[in-house]
Chain A
């Protein structure tokens, strides 16, 4: 019984993390959901919780149903293209396209880029492809609290951003049982010359002449924050960031405005009703919406891509039901006998923190975890420096880095793992000599999917002295 409603109990759990961002990932996630559907565990107590309530046909269903594979020229992330019709701006694909736009039927590539609170050169795979792509941009602006490697190598302008000393949000703060919303509020003035990003964008837009009036940044803010009258931002006056969030809070019915969050931090909205997560709590169940088992649209895209003559490597995974095949990395020669996994350490935030002295002291260096039995068979001692060399099964390219081997019994004997956080992330004395990022070993492009900033597992490597 939940909220007085009797619901089916279907305890089914499948564990996956960052799966959809790997090769074959979206079909693997579909397969997981199909199992849930067949067991009646979607929207049941103990089963798959989907945060879609109130139950209705999801907007992505309509979007995916009606994608049309178009003729070139395509945009830089190949949306609606014959190569990747379903696409949501994958930075690694963009890096490949920027290097060779003609190959992908792209006529125009951007001349300038604003990098927002990110360090793509280290954060994403593959590092060499991203570096090559950044060389093509004529003007690079980086908004960042630190002089990241991306900023250091390519920025024409660095706009120093504050870290926590700013208003930011609204942020969902639900624990899935109680609904809540939070605002980040500054605990002190921004340090040195830094400023909050919203303040930076207000100034940039004003200078560029796109702040005021219909269609300007302020107009977009009104829509994005869903501000209602009389709290909508006037389109002819630059507000402070605090005022923007004050209007948002009042528009949400919080009479004290932003002052409420400055005092309490989090606004508790109340218990999440059973109907939000449990499809069986509505009458009819799931609001009458039926689950889709057979992906007919995927079959249609597959046929259209084939008709347009692209190579099989692009369309082979567009199948109406999930299918399995050997991942591309399995085509590497047998001497590449180990899977490489990247992983996060609890001390760091992706490639954003290894130069922070207190954290760098806790987790200070890249290494490669290897099972002792595997290591001993290769004559590698604990703490010894080794080469880790990856292989691209499509192009034959190899890449290698030097890292310290660390024995771990808890890692599979056929797998090695490297933390994701290092690789000279910033120009800072604490970031010097920390060793490489696994992203310099990963590949992107045909056969290799790398749409994740970490937790990637899509190349085979060999480890040797």
Chain B
């Protein structure tokens, strides 16, 4: 059984947020849901300032607090390390959102059709498209995955459920890289099997110092960072992403 992990090289990240967009397009997530989020930080005072960037997917913890608090078993840890959400079972209690120290859970507040980037039912849009809706939804997201055969891929399913990064389970099970990794123009993101010494994640972790976010909490994240340093109170977030009101 593979033991999947992600390595993020902050010395290579230029903060372009292409990973954010790749995730949204691949996983069909609604507005204001950033399963992959890229922090932009500024430190220091003029003229000694420094700007740096930190992508933040779900940490897919080995000791996941979100799994422990889920009252219905919708959130669970797979054997390969992915922390998944069965959106058929989720009751929307949002305990996972409270328990997670990384802020990676997103609650669907609206009906999916009302929370996307273009309202295909809009009168002007329907006039321009002759009433057609282009086939934009990835059919891979509708299939069951894993030994459990549970529906865990993609986002924007139902009003009132919680969703988060799946490490692109629908791609990983086809031996593809997660969309954020495949679309990173600077090769800052790496994904692979820690059991395979030849995988890029094993190779990088073998030769570079790494750290994990909020390691002191004992969550045992499967996302490792190399380069830079963990953000600290002097790291000011700039150009933050917010819901459009």
Contacts and interface: CB of A to CB of B under 8 A. Distances in A.
Interface string B1-31: 0000000000000111100110011000001
B49 A409 contact: yes
A364 B20 CA distance: 15
A412 B15 contact: no
A361 interface: yes
A60 interface: no
Contacts of B14: 346
B149 interface: no
B244 interface: yes
A357 B118 contact: yes
Nearest to B47: A412
Contacts of A191: 134
A371 interface: yes
A410 B24 contact: no
A362 B118 contact: no
Interface string A352-377: 00000111111110000001010000
B117 A357 contact: yes
Interface stretch (B38-46, B56-64, B86-94): B38-46
Interface residues of B, number: 28
Contacts of A192: 128-130
Given A362-B20, A364-B244, A408 B134 contact: no
B16 A346 contact: yes
A331 interface: no
Given A357-B117, A361-B32, A410 B241 contact: no
A389 interface: no
A362 B17 contact: yes
Nearest to A193: B128
A363 B244 CA distance: 11
A113 interface: no
A360 to B, nearest CB: 8
A186 interface: no
A406 B237 CA distance: 12
Interface residues of A, number: 22
A409 B49 CA distance: 7
B238 interface: yes
Nearest to A367: B239
B51 interface: yes
A191 B120 CA distance: 14
A372 to B, nearest CB: 8
Contacts of A361: 31-32, 117, 241, 244
Contact of A413 (B15, B25, B46, B118): B46
Contact of A358 (B47, B117, B236): B117
Nearest to A345: B239
A360 B130 CA distance: 26
A410 B51 contact: yes
B204 to A, nearest CB: 25
A234 to B, nearest CB: 36
Main secondary structure of the interface of A (DSSP, over half): loop
A347 interface: yes
B21 A409 contact: no
A411 interface: yes
A411 B46 contact: yes
B238 A408 contact: yes
A359 B118 CA distance: 13
Contacts of A364: 244
A410 B134 contact: no
Contacts of A413: 46
Interface string A130-146: 00000000000000000
Contacts of B44: 409
B156 to A, nearest CB: 14
A51 B128 CA distance: 46
A409 B42 contact: yes
Contacts of B32: 361
Interface in A229-247: none
B46 A346 contact: no
Nearest to A412: B46
Nearest to A406: B238
Contacts of A406: 238
Contacts of B49: 409-410
Contacts of B20: 362
A344 to B, nearest CB: 12
A412 B14 CA distance: 22
B117 A409 contact: no
A362 B42 contact: no
The 9 A-B pairs of least Cβ separation, nearest first, read A357-B117, A410-B49, A409-B49, A409-B46, A346-B16, A409-B45, A362-B17, A358-B21, A371-B46
Interface of B: 14-17, 20-21, 24-25, 31-32, 42, 44-47, 49, 51, 117-118, 128-130, 134, 236, 238-239, 241, 244
Interface of A: 191-193, 346-347, 357-364, 371, 373, 406, 408-413
